[in-house]
Amino acid sequence: MEIQGKIIFAAEPRTGVSARTSQPWKSQDFVIETHDTYPRKCMFTVFGEDKLQQFNIKLGDELTVSFDIDAHEYQGRWYNSIRAWKVLHGTAESVPPTADGAVPPVAPAADPLTPASADEDTLNDLPF
């Protein structure tokens, strides 16, 4: 799955040692907010010091984040895990915000099934 938006929160990195492998680990949580008419927020985790350095996520960055969603059970309760596996700086549209900080709406793409020169009468020639 993929989401585009701006990083509005970066938690402090967490570290620990794996009980199974005795290897150290590091992870960090981030919150991204979309630029939709009704903005959505999503918290995701980057796991691994190498990924944290590679992605180099900073507060205020415009990103496209690819992630996996998984769930696990612990003591009878279920928890979601949203883990990023790819981060691209900038959004696919790269639309600069207006003076008030809002991103202007993108015009819808032309309908590939409708000829550009077709007038309304020829499109509504249904027999009923």
Does 73 map to a domain? Answer: yes
Model's pTM, two decimal places?
0.68
In this predicted model, what pLDDT tens digit does every residue of 89-121 receive, in sequence order? 986 554 455 455 555 554 454 444 545 444 555
pLDDT surpasses 80 at 13:
yes
Does 123 map to a domain? Answer: no
Name the residue range of residue 69's domain: 2-94
- CATH number of the domain at 11, please: 2.40.50.140
Does 116 map to a domain? Answer: no
Average pLDDT, the chain: 82
> Nearest to residue 46, comparing CAs of 88, 87, 5, 90?
87
More confident residue, 119 or 78: 78
**pLDDT at residue 71, as a whole number:** 96
Does 25 map to a domain? Answer: yes
Number of domains in the chain: 1
Does 106 map to a domain? Answer: no
Helix, strand, coil in percent for the chain, rounding step 5? 10, 45, 50
Query: Under 8 Å CB-to-CB from 64, ≥6 apart: which residues?
Result: 2, 3, 4, 87, 88, 90, 91, 92
Return the C-alpha torsion angle 100, 103, 58, 91, nearest 10.
-160
Three-point CA angle 105, 103, 10, nearest 5°: 135
